[in-house]
Amino acid sequence: MGSGLTNFNSIDERRFSRLLPEKCRGFGSGASTLTLNRWRDTWSTSIGDITSLLVLGGSKTAEIEGVSAAGSTKESRRYTAVADAELLLKGPSIRRRWPLPKLPGGVSPALISYVASRLIGVKSLVAAAGLFQPPSFPCLMAESPSLGPSECLTTGKAMDRNRVERLWENGVAMGKNFGKPLLLAECVPGGTTTALAALTGLGLQVGDLISSSNQTPPTLLKKNLVAKGLKAGRLGDDPNPKDLLAAIGDPFQPFAVGLLIGARQAKQPVLLGGGSQMAAVLAIALSFIDSSWREDFVKDVSIGTTAWLADELIVPSANQAAFPNLLRKIEYRFDVPLLGLSAGLHFLESSKQVLRDYELGFIKEGVGAGAFTLLAQNNGISCKRLLEECELAVDQLMKGF
């Protein structure tokens, strides 16, 4: 697979990145002068008329010790999603129902998303699929709240097949009806592990390319959990994508895949805000749709992430950062050119330790932080301004403790 794709190297990356805002980078075989210019136009002229949707999800996979740092305990990870959504919606200076879980390092990426989206006037909708805790804010329900989170992927029976079907169909219907370019973000503790499970189930050998909210991704733990889940699921070599998600997925995945497919059926551009989880959503969609539609399908689909994730070397001896390599694997598997983008924001010069922690490998991405920052930069907000506003937001957040 992938014989029609052109090679993409660091020289191309530097050249194309000159078309983007300060320190932003484009990568993937879909990066070209034409596609980057189209991306810039789409996500600047439409900035006041886009749909921004944050999808919250829950999986009991997150309760396994060491699998996620989106909360220091399994109990705290049960309300991470609603706490992050409240921060995005209300900001750091307003009293919120759910406290942010204590983290090993850093501060919630929802703070970055809040700052960037506020600076450009983007207000987000929130949708929920499989939460442990009921939202305390207006929320689109992708399914009945009574269903709760999915089971741990190691069971091989994470969700009922009918539940996957309903989430998928509800996503397609919603995606068709937005009628605007869609920015899709997520908050799903444990989601990089279910993402690895989905990608592995599709036949992609990417166990060393999947990031984590942990400072050092627990790669071996994730691989072992995924192997156990796929064995228990008894899926065979070429499983139906919906059967695969029913066995080892989480509620966010079928809903997000449906949203992506529905938006593209309506010919709307989609910016997937995230990393491994959004790569998995895209791969699942590509595995499901007819191969004759794939190239047109990805034409106006991009993945936007942070520099911390895009630059991460999960295996120290690797000669390429993990996330661009992950996209390349998906390109070759489905014979399509993909466009990845990373924001230019860094916190090396921050006076706040919780922000400098991002430079040490904590958190890296989440709640669409990279995509929101990309949009802010694409619409004239400098990295210096973003840094200053994030520091101010940290001060406001700490006053509330």
- Sheet holding 339-342: strands in order across? 25-27, 339-342, 301-305, 270-273, 182-187, 51-57, 124-129, 140-141
- Buried b / exposed e across 73-105, counting CB within 10 Å, b at 16+? ebebbbbbbbbbbbbbbebbeeebebebbebeb
- Give this prediction's pTM: 0.95
pLDDT of residue 98: 84
The answer to whether 252 and 188 have CB atoms below 8 angstroms apart is yes
Q: What digits encode the pLDDT tens for the residues 13-47?
A: 566 667 899 999 999 999 999 999 999 999 998 88
- Buried b / exposed e across 289-320, counting CB within 10 Å, b at 16+? beeeebeebbbbbbbbbbbbbbebebeeeeee
The CA distance from 186 to 367, in Å, is 5
Q: What digits encode the pLDDT tens for the residues 389-400?
A: 999 999 999 886
Q: Is 77 helix (H, G, I), strand (E, B) or coil?
A: helix
What is the residue whose two structure tokens read 């990373």? 342
Q: What are phi and psi of 229, to 5 degrees?
A: -65, -45
pLDDT of residue 2: 41
pLDDT of residue 6: 43
Burial of residue 179, with CB atoms counted within 10 A of its CB: 0-12 exposed, 13-18 middle, 19 or more buried: exposed
pLDDT of residue 401: 55
pLDDT of residue 3: 37
Residue 198: HSE in the Cβ half-sphere, 13 Å Cα cutoff: 33
Q: Is 163 helix (H, G, I), strand (E, B) or coil?
A: helix
The angle subtended at Cα 192 by Cα 188 and Cα 196, nearest 5°, is 135
pLDDT of residue 9: 53
Average pLDDT, consecutive stretches of 10 residues, N- to C-terminus, the chain (401 residues): 45 68 94 94 90 97 90 84 95 87 92 98 96 89 94 98 98 96 97 98 96 91 97 91 98 98 98 98 98 97 98 85 96 97 97 97 97 97 98 92 55
What is the 3-class SS of 249-295, one letter each residue?
CCCHHHHHHHHHHHHHHCCCCEEEECCHHHHHHHHHHHHHCCHHHHH
Domains of the chain: 50-323+347-394 (3.40.50.10210)
